[in-house]
């Protein structure tokens, strides 16, 4: 059976690609030694459904924490709970300050051509996230 590791070792041998093999081996060594991986993501990395592979890595204890920009949070979490309430703004480049203010007064948070409704996205999950955060802090203090 072929693994991702064997594929990488076979095909990523030259120039900068070989650095991927070194990085993967270092990552495995870190995890085998009891280390933890804290993943940081900048920009809209989840557009390609990155959350699907990250979820599996979390379940397999390969990723232990994630820090991401708002774009990633929106695309994975907010989209999951509120995508039916999103509003497209096809001509967002032509919005006037008054148009922007009108969206804001409706609690619609614009990300380029799409508005995310605050009540359906942020407010719907904030109590769950806060509860997890508090429980984690309590657990950390008691250990």
DSSP 43: S
Q: Is the pTM of this model over 0.85?
A: no
Backbone angles phi, psi at 111, to 5 degrees: -120, 100
pLDDT tens for the 143 residues of the chain, in order: 467 778 888 888 777 888 888 888 899 899 999 999 998 887 666 555 677 778 888 999 999 998 877 767 667 788 888 889 999 999 999 999 999 999 999 999 998 888 989 999 889 889 998 999 899 999 888 87
Q: How far apart are CA 23 and CA 37, in angstroms?
A: 13
């Amino acid at each position: 059976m072929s693994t991702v590791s064997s594929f990488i070792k076979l095909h990523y041998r030259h120039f900068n690609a070989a650095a991927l093999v070194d990085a993967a081996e270092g990552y495995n060594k870190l995890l085998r030694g009891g280390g933890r991986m804290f993943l940081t993501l900048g920009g809209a990395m989840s557009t390609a459904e990155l959350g699907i592979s990250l979820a599996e890595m979390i379940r397999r204890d390969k990723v232990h924490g994630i820090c991401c920009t708002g774009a990633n949070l929106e695309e994975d979490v907010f989209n999951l709970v509120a995508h039916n309430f999103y509003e497209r703004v096809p001509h967002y480049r032509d919005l006037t300050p008054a148009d922007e203010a009108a969206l804001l007064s409706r609690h619609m948070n614009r990300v380029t051509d799409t508005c995310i409704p605050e009540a359906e996205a942020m407010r719907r999950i904030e109590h769950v996230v806060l509860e997890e955060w508090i429980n984690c802090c309590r657990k950390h203090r008691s250990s």
